[in-house]
Amino acid sequence: MKVVIIGAGVAGLGIGWRLLQAGCAVTILERAQAGGGASWAAAGMLAVTAELEDAAEPERTLALRASALWPGFAAELEAASGRSLFLNAGGALLLAGDGAELAVMQARAEGELRIVDAADARAQVPLLGDNLGGLWSPHESHVDNRALGEALTIAFLKAGGLLYPNEAAVRIEERGGRASAVLTPYGRYDADAVLVAAGAWSSLLDQIPIVPVKGEVIALMPPTSAALPGPVVWGEHVYCVPRPHLGRLLVGATVEEAGFDTSPTVAARDHLRASAEKLMPSLRGWTLSDHWAGLRPKSPDGLPLLGPTATAGLFVAGGQYRNGILFTPAIAAEMADLILGKSQVIPAFDPRRFA
């Protein structure tokens, strides 16, 4: 079976890798660079506790499935690519902003999730200033999403996939009511199945109602005398993610519908930095080392689109919104099975729900 994938983010690469392993011939067309877009701009959190608190049931199940798959997926991908993903299960600390938030956290504290007071919180993260304590999730993880994009690219190519960067799909051709080829300015790629996994840019092709949601992130570097926090820290409407192998702390993120604009703004930089300094006052002495923005792909109901479209042979993997890195292993497995006709679409994620 010949599959053409539009988009070499972690979703397109992951699904392509799984399809190659299943014996398909896979070509990926990428408008820019592999592993770019939201895959590059993300902070890499596998934040089941922090970001899926209000998630509806099918999304929660997908997140938990992905979370369970991550260790094995990372080990397999590291072996296949020879690259480390820097998977770090150092936990996450969610700090309460006020008594009401603390009460909500207390209601969530079960299993390994436990409430910590200010002193416990500071024992986990000595950089913290005054705080009300919050929720401690000891095994929450994060990966280096840029390393993930590189590793998936290597694994995909080593497995025999074809990848064309700087080659945007401009049209999906149909024959007899079926997707049969993808056209770019440079060529025509015949396919038995076409998958759109183009993140925020998926909306530029028909039938796919996805909007870009801008997120800005900054990176701070400590003075030589200071250590990075061990866990991920959430509070003051920001998250702080350590990247120990790069010696920096990521602070994100804004959430804004601003079309396809990815320019970093002074206002976002100052807001992110001030919020992080409220959490950890000594960050005032840290150096701003980077600042960027990415576009999260969001569907009208906030749930992913995973499955067939109204056109036979045309599939979508999109709308991952804030959880694209977390979902990677589950989407790779489920979409490969769907394209191969080995599984059924989950109704809540069916892209045809917007038809």
Interface with ligand GLY, residue 252, by CB under 6 A? yes
Interface with ligand GLY, residue 322, by CB under 6 A? yes
Interface with ligand GLY, residue 219, by CB under 6 A? no
* Among the listed residues 296, 327, 349, 350, the single contact to ligand GLY using CB under 6 A: 296
| Whole-Å CA distances, 251 to 237, 270, 286, 290 | 10, 11, 12, 10
Contact characters 157-196, ligand GLY, x per CB under 6 A = ----------------------------------------
Peptide bond into 66 cis (omega under 30): no
Name, in order, each residue with C-beta under 8 angstroms of 206's C-beta and a sequence gap of 6 or more.
172
Pick between residue 215 and residue 304 the one whose CB is nearest to ligand GLY. Answer: 215
CB of 150 to ligand GLY, least distance (A): 20
Six-digit token string for 206? 């028909």
CB of 198 to ligand GLY, least distance (A): 18
* Among the listed residues 3, 4, 6, 45, the single contact to ligand GLY using CB under 6 A: 45
Interface with ligand GLY, residue 232, by CB under 6 A? no
Q: What is the DSSP secondary structure assignment for residue 312, as one 8-state letter?
A: B
Q: How far apart are CA 67 and CA 44, in angstroms?
A: 13
Q: Which of residues 24-43 bind ligand GLY (CB under 6 A)?
A: 43
Interface with ligand GLY, residue 271, by CB under 6 A? no
Pick between residue 8 and residue 268 the one whose CB is nearest to ligand GLY. Answer: 268
Six-digit token string for 247? 């010696």
Q: DSSP alpha helices (H): ranges in the chain?
A: 10-21, 37-41, 48-51, 57-81, 99-108, 118-124, 145-158, 266-279, 324-339
Q: How far apart are CA 59 and CA 78, in angstroms?
A: 27
Pick between residue 27 and residue 145 the one whose CB is nearest to ligand GLY. Answer: 145
In the complex, which residues of this chain contact ligand GLY (CB under 6 A)?
Answer: 43, 45, 51, 215, 252-253, 296, 322
